[in-house]
A and B are shown apart, each in its own frame.
Chain A
Amino acid sequence: MVKNSFIFLVLIGLAAILLNLFAGFNGSTELGTIAAHYASKGIEEVGSANLVTSVVVSYRGLDTLGEVTILFLSAAIIGFFLKVDNTDNKNRQLKYTSEILNTASQVLVPIMLLFGAYVFINGHLSPGGGFQGGAIIASGLVLMFIAQPKKEMGHKMINIVESVSGVSFVLLGVAGILFASGFLDNKILSLGKFGTLFSAGIIPIIYILVGLKVGSELTGIALSLKENQNEA
């Protein structure tokens, strides 16, 4: 009972702090100085129509590299932690997958993969980007796992895609030091004509690599969890 009232007190305290924030909040009417710089100078400095993309990939590119590293770390820990020596599914009880799920997955999976690729290739022009596109690709592959649970899919291909795209991301960043003004500078390639697919320097290339890396990592996590189903 003492414990319950303690929990209640913690909740009340946090609610009081957040209500204070809520009551004192009026909403801003102007962008802050950094945001205003990103919005007004972003086009000539980075050349990306999507300003969020120019912040994520170019102005704060190092943070994105760190984020990809955290995602890689969690995928690697899950892969290490849920490793199963015996992946044969012979004695596994599988539920019957319905005709609807099977047919729908055959129609939807290729379209989802294509849409994911579209989202990350156009990340500098329209809403979207590497992380979103990678998540769409991974959800397409998860749909495939659900529809065909007996199908074997090794980690080898996933690991190769993940490693190659991760290393290329870092190498592109280093190329920025050698050929342009700093790490992950996007002016290695010319900025091109604003608003076209081949513009904004190396942003499309980085987003393609991020999309492949995120897609393969999330697929690897789902695959590790799937392989552990017979153990539970």
Chain B
Amino acid sequence: MMLGRRVTLKNQFKEIAMYRNRMLVSLFGVLAMMLLLIVWVAQLQITQYEKYRTESDNNRIRVLPIAPTRGLIYDRNGILLAENRSVYSIELIPEQIKDMEKAVAELSELIVIDEDDRERFFKEVKRTRERFKKIPLKSRLTEAQVARFAVNRHRFPGVSVEARLVRFYPYGEILSHALGYVGRINDRELVTIDQENYRATRHIGKVGIEKYYETILHGKIGTQRVETDVQGRVLKVLEQEDPVAGSDLYLELDLGLQLAAYKALEGQRGSVIALDPHTGGVLALVSTPGYDPNLFVTGISNKDYKKLLNPDRPLFNRALRGQYSPGSTIKPHLAWLGLESKTISPSYAINDLGVYQMPIEEDRRFRDWKRRGHGSQIDFRRAIIESCDTFFYDLAYKMGIDKISDTMQQFGFGEFTNIDMGEEVPGLMPSREWKQRERRVRWFPGETVITGIGQGYWLSTPLQLANSAAAIASDGIRYDLKMVGAIANQNSKITIDPVLAQKQVDIGNGQNFKRIQNAMKEVNHNKFIGTARSAFQGANYLSAGKTGTVQLFGLGEDEEYEAENLAERLRDNALYIGYAPFENPTIAVSVVVENAGGGGSNAAPIARKVIDTYLAKLQEGK
């Protein structure tokens, strides 16, 4: 009735029928599409359930690395030489900070952040791929800085103060060249390290023992499976695998001896090495000047670093890398070779007028350090005790370079000492082949003559000098040098056995070896002519040694001398090698003091102090 005038009843029937038909089609359409949704969702939730479950777990679960504690370094008596100290650092999570520049700028109002810190921080932010990793901005915060940040903490989401264990070297400069140091991992190291094991580690051994024993000191990373939200906030710890701390190192080094050696050498440029002749263990290793290794741990500032680049070269490890002409210190070795090779007999003697003339080139003269010579009847004994050059010019010429070169290598010259430090250089034991190969010139006989007094091409490191002294002390048995005597973890302590050096001195029946050992004893104890007699005056033990005084001709490694220092830098290097006690030696030493003058008066007294200290300590120990 209300349905409009134009609409007929017939149309209404037709319309309703049509409408219901369309509605039915629609209903089937709706049902079909709902079924499609259900099938589609079931396909996600049933068929691909495992895949999505895993992806959901990957979202929420993160494996956080836990850094292992770095192994400690002790001296032979268990005194801590390198420890880990808790240090506060301010760290940022880039993902949780909206405006990094602004955050850093605001932080620097609270805490002084210098340009070096900023630069390093932004570099690391750029480099880091791992999400939600805390990146240190400033390390070694003071208590006051920590407090100041704590008050303002709410202003800095994503910024936190973290306490981290950081290497500390309590003896600083004194052990710098003996231990080396750790520093922040740099780009180059990042490529070579085991990335997985170092995920939580910020520092790595850069030089010295810290570098050589890096894998042992570092330990094994631990992991923590945690549940996090999308912001990386940790909500729950699911499980944890503890890290395995690095092993501790027990050095052969004796801190007391090291301190004495350092004190004796302090203020001069040079090196003191003390060895256990029966093991090759390094009892003391000093190179001066040193530096404070703690500066390098959290990153040295440019200013501090520039200070270390001075002409005294404090970063240069003279003990391992300083190459010096051995000078007269090798006279006992050559004398022994002369006797053993029967080039001379024990009674062979010369008349020394202060000059040596080669038989073939009579116009070439080689002067003795003593202007008028050492007088008549100079046999090998007096030649060692008084350090007569002429005798050794003659002897070297008679033996020839080939024999000298071969045998001196057996004493370790020109050879690596294989010390567990990694940075040593082999020095140079010249030979005919070497000269032809490297210099493309034949060997001249005159060069053999000056080899007789440890000059010319011959270069040795303080380590090699000490090693050769130890070889004489132990009747020709020579060991590879070692800093580390034992490695200890929670469960066990492994002692490292001495390793014989590859080349050994064949002392035959030992008669000639005894002869030169006796001559070296006279060097220290002959009251009238021993070159080290004043240094060893009043010693309550017998010892053996040999002095060396090496003239410099303005060549060698020190070419960067400034003009005003020239005079000083051209003074002789003072050298000394020795061992004690004379019977059953327990210590062998080498001393090198650059530009100090005569070895007897400048190097030998340092050796005396070192030996006194060590023997006294042994006495106490008994």
Bound together: no
Which B residues are closer than 8 A to A by beta carbons?
A: none
Q: List chain A positions with a Cβ less than 8 A from chain B.
A: none
